Amino acid sequence: MQDTTVQKIGIWNRVSGNDHEYYARDNAFRNEWHFWADINKIAASSDRYRIVFMGESVARGYFYDPFYNCGTTLEKMLNDGGGMDAEVIDLARTNHDLAEV
């Protein structure tokens, strides 16, 4: 049976160990880190409801990020006011070109 596990998500690469599995920032893309969410690791799985948040400059909170961004705000709204136990995976990125979008 073929392993269909995603090996890369944006600038994060899959890391597997005996008791952990996550996606970690790839140092090869260090010059692009500032375009993405300031997150070093993304858990490969979670017991929480997960939402993937994608978009470009507006979704990233351009001019306000990292002090304010839409992904963090969405997670807070869902959990505090929406009664959910949700995790928002913030994959919004600034500085995309049309081919990347």
| Stated pTM of the model | 0.82
Query: 92-96: long-range contacts (C-beta < 8 A, 24 or more apart)?
Result: 92/36, 92/37, 92/53, 92/54, 92/55, 92/56, 92/59, 92/60, 92/61, 93/10, 93/35, 93/36, 93/56, 93/60, 94/35, 94/56, 94/57, 94/60, 94/62, 94/65, 95/35, 95/57, 96/56
**Model pLDDT for residues 30-81, shown as the tens digit of each residue:** 999 999 999 999 999 999 999 999 988 888 888 888 788 899 999 999 999 8
